[in-house]
Chains A and B, each alone.
Chain A
Amino acid sequence: MSDLINTTIIIATVASGIRLATPFLLASLGESIGQRSGVLNLGVDGVMLLGAFAAYYTVLKTGNLFLGIMIGLILGALIGLFYAFITVNLQAQQGVSGIGIYLFGLGMSDLLFQKLVGTPRPIMPFRILHIPLLSDIPIIGEMFFDHSLIVYVAFLLVPLLSLIINRTTYGMNIRAIGENPEAADSLGVSVGGIRYSALIIGNMLAGLAGAALAIELGIFQHNLTNAMGFIAIALVYFGAWRPLGVMAGSLVFGVVAAIVLQCKTLGLIPRSASDLAAMAPAIITILALVVVANRFRQPTALTKPYVRGG
């Protein structure tokens, strides 16, 4: 009997870990594309907040989840375009301008929420999409194939982006300009053009991450993400800039969060101890940074604006 309960709890924890990992995964995949092209974007959290509000508001008004997701993506693309302009054309200092984007997103999403919505009103969350046959497999089916569409999309992006970055000309160009923009430029690769596209795609994923979070929770509030975007940036380092590594990092993060949540609901740990447990991911990330910094090299041109002949 108790074995049965334990299995149920384990299944529920893993499944909720995968669900919790999804926004992290989307945002850090996006960030990794930008960083591979040599641009650091510290504004992810702000973009997520704006994407989250835009999607929430759209769904609140139209009831159309697909439209909400699209608006989140479009908003991300617009911010990506703007961020590319200031980092590529105006060669702005990337660490600090990203904080500006974060503050803008933090303030703007709150402002619009207070002005347009006021009191939190729930929206319809995602429907669960059972994958036929696969979801019928005992245990594994419930863990991995009983999620909403966005979860599958996020995890399918991992092999897709792996393929694009490692096997296509476009991916090679991204890596080239992240490592040695001068050489890539001399071979006729448009450094600015590729960075624009990488940042637009990357921020679209951040917007999508926010949209997914808001719709998953079915609610929006001030500072909904609570620094999730910053953790997503750290996960890029954790995963050593590889989609598979980023996925592993997101899953560790999601599952640890799910375990903490589960222990709290079961009353296994007191509230105050769960605050201490919440420190663990950040500390693990710092330790991972120490290892990664010495074992994997970051893209050589990261944070360095490209000036021809400069």
Chain B
Amino acid sequence: MNNLKTKMISWTIPSCAVLAALIIGAIMLSALGANPIKGFGTMFASAFGNLDGLASTAVKSIPLLLVGIGICIAFRASVINIGGEGQMVMGALLATIMALAFPGLPAIIFIPLVLLVGLIGGAAWGAIPGALKAYFNVSEILSTIMLNIVAVQFMNFMLRGPLIDPGEIERGTRIPQTARLPEATDLPLLLEGARMHLGFLIAVLAAVAAWILLWRTSLGFRLRSVGLNPAAARYAGIPVKRSIIMALAISGAMAGLAGAILVFGSESHRMVTDGSSTGFTGSAGFNGIVVALFAGLHPLWSIPSALLFGGMLVGANALQRAVQVPSALIIALNGLIVVFVVSSEYFKRRVQTVQTDPKVQKTVSDSDKNQESDNLKD
């Protein structure tokens, strides 16, 4: 009974936070001269109302979900990975190089190969701040931000220089993009007549794998222990430094995979830059944090969470067409959701403190004690 109540509270509070942000969004819509009900209605209908919309929503949710899974793992190990943007870029870049280097491989080998390379690229880019934190005591928050900047400039260099489409040089247009990647690397479509591709399936499987990793393997146990209490974990013989590097590497691997899927699942089948990281990632490296927080840092709950936020991105474009409100509104709203969800933790903690307060504990009945041992297993 009490457990159910705690569960309900832990879901109601972040939902209220999102609702509060949406109400502010509605106020903003009316301030911009659009009918908020019509606006949100258009968004919802275009994102979830038909097969095309659903497919776009699923595709938009892939990078959000993958980055979000990585964030779940990192944050549970108390590692704040803000480097999703850079890890996506590096994963995508490495996978693109691989695809350009070995044309002619059959799809059945080529697709797993390039995705794996993307994963490794992201993992390596994530392991750097991990090692800097573990061995040099450098805050991962800062090093990941700096590595984002390095990755973007490296991408600009590669796409304007060594990797540029030879056709762009011949025509003299010099758009910073690669040539069309080998067709064998195109991610196959899952549904007849809709744009949803293999990437979505991979992302969902990754979420399941992350759940198994966190709660059914000793590595997951070690990561969570380090996150809950590093000192205690150290006394228990858990290699804390290695665990920190591991958490960031896995988190980066998910982002790198997201970057690779973004390239091979794109409609142009090229890697393109507009000079910024958001131009390539669509801010998924940051928005993935929103997805994970809203899912309570749970990989499986991240699936509906990613679909919701992916739907918001699809809806944002419809919003722009229907009521002439720039889709930047959604980025602003995502920001508010982050702030509100993080702030709402305070109320969640307060509810929990009341329940574990010694004065309150005296009245705890036997059934609640059983409940507690259940919680420990969780």
Contact = CB atoms under 8 A, between A and B. Distances in A.
Interface string A72-106: 00000000000000100011110111011111111
A97 B343 contact: yes
Contact of B331 (A107, A230, A283): A107
A90 B344 CA distance: 8
A95 B157 CA distance: 30
Contact of B149 (A96, A101, A279): A279
Interface stretch (A54-62, A150-158, A287-295): A287-295
A11 interface: no
A276 B153 contact: yes
Interface string A15-47: 000000000000000000000000010100010
Interface stretch (B45-53, B210-218, B262-270, B322-330): B322-330
A114 interface: yes
Interface stretch (B139-147, B189-197, B355-363): B139-147
B11 to A, nearest CB: 19
7 contacts: A42-B145, A86-B343, A96-B342, A103-B290, A271-B160, A275-B156, A278-B153
Contacts of B286: 99, 102-103
Interface residues of B, number: 50
Given A107-B329, A278-B156, 5 more contacts: A106-B331, A234-B142, A275-B153, A282-B150, A293-B137
A272 B147 contact: no
B328 A104 contact: no
A69 B160 CA distance: 38
A101 B346 contact: no
A115 interface: yes
Nearest to A83: B339
Q: Is the interface of B mostly helix, strand, loop or mixed?
A: helix
Q: Which of A108, A222, A282, A285 has the most CB of B within 10 A?
A: A282
Q: Which of A90, A92, A286 has the most CB of B within 10 A?
A: A286
Interface of B: 32, 80, 82, 132, 136-139, 141-143, 145-150, 153-154, 156-157, 160-161, 276, 278, 283, 286-287, 289-290, 293, 325-326, 328-340, 342-343, 345-346
A226 interface: yes
Contacts of B137: 293-294
Interface string A263-274: 000000001110
Contacts of A273: 157
B136 A97 contact: no
Interface of A: 40, 42, 46, 86, 90-93, 95-97, 99-108, 110-111, 114-115, 222-223, 226-227, 230-231, 233-234, 237, 271-273, 275-276, 278-279, 281-283, 285-286, 289-290, 293-294, 298
A231 B149 CA distance: 9
A290 to B, nearest CB: 5
Contacts of B340: 100
A101 B339 contact: yes
A100 to B, nearest CB: 3
A100 B138 contact: no
B149 A227 contact: yes
Contact of B346 (A46, A90, A283): A90
Given A104-B336, A294-B136, A282 B147 contact: yes
A92 B343 contact: yes
Contacts of B289: 96, 99
Contacts of A92: 339, 342-343, 345-346
A286 B143 contact: yes
A233 B139 CA distance: 12
Contacts of A271: 160
Contacts of A272: 157, 160-161
Contacts of B161: 272, 275
A196 B328 CA distance: 30
Contact of A101 (B146, B148, B333, B335): B335
A28 to B, nearest CB: 13
B328 A114 contact: yes
A41 B297 CA distance: 22
Given A107-B333, A234-B142, A289 B132 contact: yes
Q: Which 5 A-B pairs have the closest CB atoms?
A: A107-B331, A100-B338, A104-B335, A107-B332, A103-B335
A230 B332 CA distance: 18
Contact of A104 (B139, B143, B325, B332): B332
Q: Which of B141, B161, B334, B342 has the most CB of A within 10 A?
A: B342
Contacts of A102: 286, 335
Nearest to A286: B146
A234 B147 CA distance: 12
A82 B160 CA distance: 42
B141 A95 contact: yes
Nearest to A116: B32
Contacts of B338: 96-97, 99-100, 103
A103 B343 contact: no
A272 B156 CA distance: 8
A252 to B, nearest CB: 15
A234 B332 CA distance: 24
A234 B335 CA distance: 22
A97 B145 CA distance: 15
B326 A103 contact: no
B82 A99 contact: yes
